[in-house]
Structures are given as C-alpha cells and as structure tokens.
A and B are shown apart, each in its own frame.
Chain A
Amino acid sequence: MSNSGKSYQQVDPVGGYSARPVTILGCAGVVIYAIVETVIGWAGVSMPAVAFIALAATVLAAVGVVYWSSPLRAPFPRFGFATIVLLAVAAMSLDAMASWNGAVLPPGEWGPVVFGLTMVEISPYRPPRALAFATTFGGVIAGVIAVTHPATQLSDSPTIVTFIATVIPLISLGFGSAAYASALRRSSGWLQPESDLAAHAAIEELRENTMRSVQLDRAGILNRTVVPFFTEVLRRDSLSRADAAEARVISASIRALMIADVDRSWLDDLIDQIARAREDGSLPGSEVVQDSERLAAGMSKEQRIVTRVLLVALLGQPGFDPDGFAILLARKGASCRVKITAKLDKDESIQRSGLAPYFAVLRIVFGDLQVAFQSPTLTLRFSYDHR
C-alpha cells in the first residue's frame, strides 16, 4: 500500500502510540461534555429516554475509540472506524430527536460538536481520506437535522444561519482532523530521508571498522595454520604423506569453524550481542533460539528491526528472569510462526505499561501479534510470510 492510503499510526507507530494519552483524555472529555450539555439543556428535552440513548451511544463511541486505538489492536481497523462513525451519527440524531418537540435550536445541541471531536480523537489512527469522507457524511446528516428540525422553522433566525451554526463545528473539527492526520503523515514521510541519510552516514563510518574486524578474525585463523603450511609447501615444491595428512587436519578444523558459523542467524547473533553488551553473565545466549530451519533469515528488514528493539527491551526489563526465556520459530505453510516467552517477576500492569510502546510498533509490522501475560510468563505470538 502506498503511504497515501495509510494512517499516521501505520507510517510512524511510535508517534501513533504517543498520541494515545490525548485520545483517552479526549474521549473522557467528549463524554463529560455531552453529559454536562444534556444536564444544562434538560429543560428543552422532550424525550428523556431518547436523550439517555444518545448519551449511551456517545459513551459507546468513546469506548470504541479507546478500545481500537490500543497498541495491541493496531492498526485501527476500518470496521471499528465505521462503527464509531455510525455511533456518533446515531448520538447526533438522537440528541436532536430528544428535543424535537422542544424549543432548542439544533445549534444548541451537542451532537455535531461530539461528532467533530470524535474525528479529532481518531485522527492519528485513520487515513485523512477516511476522516474527510466521514466528516462529509456527518455534515450531511447534521445539515438535514438543522433544516428539518421544528425549532428551525419556528425561529426568527434565517435558516441558513441555523444551518451553518449546526454544521460548522462538525465540519471544521472533522476537516481539521483530516488536515492534522495528513500533515502528521506527510511530515513523517519528509523526515524519513533525513533519518536514512544520517543512518547511512553512520554506517559508512563504521564500514571500515567492520571490514577490519572481520579481516582480523579471518587473518587470525589463516595465519595460525594455513599460510605457514602453504608457504612451506610452495617453498619445497613437493608433497609428502605428512603434508596430505596435515592438509586434511587443517581442512577439517576450518570446516568445523565454518559450519558453526554458517547455521547461525542474525537472531542468534543478536541474543549473544545483548548478553555481551550488558556484561551480565546471567543473561541467556543464542541457545534460547530454536530455529532449526533458519527461518529468522526470512524476516524483512522492517520485521528484524522491530523484533530487535523488542528483544533488547525485553531482556532489559526489570524482573526479567533468564530461565524462562525462549524464542521458537516454526514453519506453518507459507508463513513462519514466532513464539517468544519470557518470565517477568513484576506486576503485570508495570510490565504492560513498560513494554506497550514496543507492542505498538510490533503490532504494526506483525498484524497478528498476540500478547498474553499469565503471571509471571509473558508470551508473544506473531507470524510473517517466509520470503
């Protein structure tokens, strides 16, 4: 999918995650606003039951936003968005209906504002086009309500003024949200090449060091046995049985080293690297990785990066118990299933909140991520297509 069809959450999962506190606060604010407005305007309510249902629809929409914006459910599903839009439209319509026989003009209702604010809350999680479409839909409904509401007919204000006053809060907040989502996504795209350039420059700097390090490793192996042996054979220009036997011994020792290397994956290297970097003897080594078919090699670059960042964070969690740590990769059809288990001797809520940003990022890359915490064991399951 091109970036134009993606939400900010999909383009920048960390940004999407960090927007969530504002979303939760916004949802609470919307519900409080609807309740307060209902109480203030209670005198104009002619159908109390309908007013309560309108409030219930608002609460449900807010709960839906909080539920589907969770990092564990990312990316925000289309079905969830459609449900929330329909609930917001229902709340707006029912709110107007509750005072249908009263004297309250539609601009005095809270429905359009709640609809617009709901779009604001969802803006980091859905593509701008979807927000603009939902706003147009909501705007049409609000417009119809404004024009057909009996209070509009009885009012001294021109109908167009009532119409605009009803629709403007909804469309300004809705289209503002679409513009907000679009700007966030575009900024993310513009800044990416800069990040890439910085990373590229750092890699160029380290390229020489990496080559030198590999060179030294290999030169150490060769200089100990192979170079002296070849030099001697070439100098003598003859072969003996002892030479043939020595050639076999050297060959076997080099093969043994190469075989040990050849079946190691980036995941093995990563786990060993973390243990080395932390200088913590209790941390596990690559023996915890069970990947007999070398499936780790089939992960894309993006998948490797998010798996890497999760594992670094997991092994650094307070209360991480090396004994319960395992990574299992198994093939199922054309996909590979990954299961990571870790024992974490801390309260579940602490672990969840500490790891939540990582789950958010992981969930965007591995859409089927499942997180289960059965104290003290955290289990993560996800899969990817094997390339």
Chain B
Amino acid sequence: MSFGHSQRVGLQMLNRALSRFSHVVGYCCIGGAILDVVGYQGAAPGAVIWPIFFPLLLTFAVLAMLDRWRTTAWSIAFLAVGGVSAYLLAVTLLSQVDGLQANALPISLVKVALLLVSGSGFRPRTSIFWTFAGYVVGEVASWLAAIQENAPKPLDEVALETLLGLLLVLTTIALTRGARSRVSPELARAALDEELSALRYRIELRAASLMHDTVLDHLDALAADPSSTLQPELKRRIENDLEILIGEEWLSDPSPEVDAQVKPDWRRSAMLGAIKEARDLSLQVEVTGDLAAVGRLSRERDVALGLAVKQCLVNVLRHAQVERAEVVIIGSADDVSVMVIDSGRGFSEDLVGADRLGIRQSVRHRIEAVGGDVQLWSTPGRGTSIMIRVPAPFVLDGVAVTSE
C-alpha cells in the first residue's frame, strides 16, 4: 500500500491514467470506424470506400505514437492527421453510401477519438483547451465534408455528449483535489513518524537491555557480595562496562539494510561469545546442534541473540542453583532456534516480581525487536527451557529463499 503521495504526484498519476483511458477509447473508436468501413464496403462492393482505410490506419498509427510519447508535437500531429481523416471519411461515406448524414456513427467515432485523445496527458486546464481543439477540428472536418457533398449537417449528439461528459469529469477532478492534498501529507508524515518511533524504540530497547545486563547486574552483585574486597572478575567487568557506558558508541544503531548484508562467521558469533563468557563464570555449557546456522544471522540479530542467550545463562548461574546448562541450536529454512535448558529449581513466570526484568527485557523484548519470539517452559523444581527463535532466511546470490 502506498502512503501519502503529494498533490503533484497524485495529479501526475491521474493524468497518466486518464491518458491511458483516452488512448484505449481512441483505439476502440478508430478500430470501430475501420470495421464500419469494412461493413459498408462489404455491403456495396461497387462503391469506392476502401481508400479511406489508409488515412484511418495512419490515424491509428499516430495514436500509437502518441500513446508511446505523450508530447505536444504528437498531439498536434494526431489532431492534424485525425482531422484530415475525419474529413476524408465523411466525404467518402457521404458520397458513396446513400442515406448517410454527417453525424453517421463512423464519422462520430473519429471525432470522439479526436476530442478525447488530443487533451490526454496534460494538466486539467490545458487538457480542457486541447479537448475543445479536438472537438472543433472534428466538427469543422465533418461540416466541410457536408458542404462539399451538399449533405444535411444535423447536430452530432455523440460528439457533443462526449465533450460535455469529459468537461464535467475534468472540472470535477480539478475541484476535488482537496481531499488528497489534505490527507496525503498527513499519511506521509505518519509513515515517517512511525519509522522514527520504531527507530527510537530499537535504540531505547538496546539501552534498556544493556543497562540491565551491565549496570543492574553489577549493582546486584555488589549488593549481595558479603566480602569486603571487590572480586577481581567483578572489578574487571565493572571497569570494562564503565568504559563502554561513558563512551558514545554503545547505542549506535547499525542500519538494518547494511547490516543484513554482513553475515558473521559463526565461530566468532555473539552467541558463542556469550557461551564463552558463561563458561568463564564457571558454568558448564554443553553446546549441540547446527552451530553453522548461526552464521546465517544478520549482525543485528546475531548481537540480539548473543545478548539474550547470555542473559539466559546468567539466570541459570544466578537463580537455577545448578552448574550446568545445555544450549541446543536448530537451523531451519527460515529461522534459527536456540534452546537454553537447565535442570535447576525452575520458576513460575507469573510469580516473578514486576521488578525482575531479565527475561522480559533482556530476552523477550530484545528478541521481539529483531522479529523473533521467545517461549519459556519452567516448572518449579523441574528446570527451565527457553526457546529463542530468530528469523534467518537462506540467501542465494543475494535473494532470500524461504521454505514457502
């Protein structure tokens, strides 16, 4: 769906469409006139009607040119060739077919094509001028033919009705552009605001998750530390994180378009980095499954998955009361799923305090922000399994291949 074309662009679209409409009607009218001539020639084999095919075919060809190149020069050419054709057609039919008048249908069809096609592709005001020009040329052509052949010249209702109808439509279009001009900019603005809102949300989420993983983690560790000296590992992590937080690059939001092209080597992926960090904290982590699938993730998703897995493993260390966890990686055609399993004390998610943000903020929201989802199964006393699914389509020569 499109949001918020400008008034100028909307008018361009409308002109292009009206032009297409006029040209197709023009093709039908001239084609109909040609077939009519065939009919008259067939009904009166002795009459000399057939030469009129050539100017009609030429008019058809000029219309095709105008259809291809909508320029003033081709419009003038169409008006000139069509006018001459209308005149020759009228002269031929009035002289060769008994009982016909200057408003006979084949002549009217060419006149309708003239007034419809001449004005096509221009702005409404200019279009009205060209439409009038087309009408006048057609009427003058048939009027001259009627005089020449001494035939009656009744009012051509078909041409007049087409002229009035077209003028009414063009006037209405010119008068009702207000609705588009009011809503379109607002839609465009809303689309931009939505993009910005999503961007800000991503950055704030990153900030919140990072704050949770670093600052709150360290504060909790300090609050719970019974010793009077700072543990060297904790000191190292605080120093490291403080440096990052004081710096200015920690919230940088890599462009998703560029990011999607940068596939990490799975051996250096953020997820394996998280597992290594957990092992450094003395958690035994057993990794099984399709490790190479992690290499299909975009950088943004790799980082989000790594940080989410890290939070899961930190939770095992801190709350599960076990020293061992299992990480299972499953790669499918469309996504990568990572399951973090422990056989610890488990918990009920409903009973987790509103102030505990680990699963909610650092895992669930973080993964949802990159298009994935998280499922959690835990029973008090029987362990916890967390399934994290992140989209990762197969890519062949830059084209994503999905299982659909």
Residues of A within 8 A of B (CB): 10-15, 17-18, 21-22, 25-26, 29, 33, 107, 120, 156-161, 164-165, 168, 171-173, 175-184, 187-189, 191-192, 195, 199, 202-204, 206-207, 210-211, 213-215, 217-218, 222, 226-227, 230-231, 233-234, 237-240, 243-245, 247-248, 250-252, 254-256, 258-259, 261-262, 266, 269-270, 297, 301-302, 304-306, 308-309, 312-313, 357-358, 361, 364-365
Contact = CB atoms under 8 A, between A and B. Distances in A.
Interface string B245-263: 1101001110100000000
What are the 10 tightest A-B residue pairs by CB atom distance, in nearest-first order?
A172-B28, A160-B39, A183-B20, A180-B21, A158-B43, A187-B13, A168-B32, A309-B190, A251-B219, A183-B17
A352 to B, nearest CB: 13
Contacts of B28: 168, 171-172, 175-176
Nearest to A165: B105
B36 A161 contact: yes
Given A17-B179, A107-B105, A222-B215, A266 B228 contact: no
B228 A238 contact: yes
Contact of B39 (A164, A247, A305): A164
A206 to B, nearest CB: 6
B169 A26 contact: yes
A22 B173 contact: yes
A15 B183 contact: no
A361 B187 contact: yes
A21 B187 contact: no
A291 to B, nearest CB: 15
Given A15-B10, A202-B192, 7 more contacts: A10-B1, A160-B42, A172-B29, A180-B18, A195-B188, A234-B239, A305-B194
Contacts of A305: 3, 187, 190-191, 194
B38 interface: yes
Interface in B27-80: 28-29, 32, 35-36, 38-40, 42-43
B196 interface: yes
Contacts of A13: 1
13 contacts: A22-B172, A29-B168, A160-B39, A161-B40, A176-B25, A178-B24, A180-B21, A184-B16, A203-B195, A222-B215, A239-B229, A259-B354, A301-B194
A154 B244 CA distance: 96
B25 A173 contact: yes
Contacts of B218: 230
Nearest to A194: B9
Q: Which of A12, A14, A218, A304 has the most CB atoms of chain B within a 10 A radius of its CB?
A: A14
Given A199-B195, A211-B253, A304-B194, A258 B211 contact: yes
A45 B81 CA distance: 40
Contact of B183 (A14, A25, A165): A14
B14 interface: yes
A239 B360 CA distance: 31
Contacts of B177: 18
Assign chain B's interface to a size class: 35 or more
B225 A244 contact: yes
Contacts of B360: 262
Contacts of A160: 35-36, 38-39, 42
A208 to B, nearest CB: 10
A195 to B, nearest CB: 7
A62 B242 CA distance: 72
B223 A234 contact: no
A138 to B, nearest CB: 14
Contact of A176 (B24, B245, B248): B24
B136 interface: no
Given A14-B183, A164-B36, A238-B228, A182 B20 contact: yes
Nearest to A236: B230
A233 B13 contact: no
Contact of B204 (A15, A158, A261): A261
A14 to B, nearest CB: 5
Contacts of A255: 216, 355, 357
A357 to B, nearest CB: 4
Nearest to A221: B211
B286 interface: no
A266 B1 contact: no
A250 B17 contact: no
Contacts of A258: 208, 211-212, 357, 361
Contacts of A238: 228-230
Nearest to A365: B1
B16 A187 contact: yes
Interface string B94-106: 0000010000011
Contact of A195 (B2, B99, B212): B2
A239 B227 contact: yes
A247 B221 CA distance: 9
Contact of A168 (B4, B29, B225, B227): B29
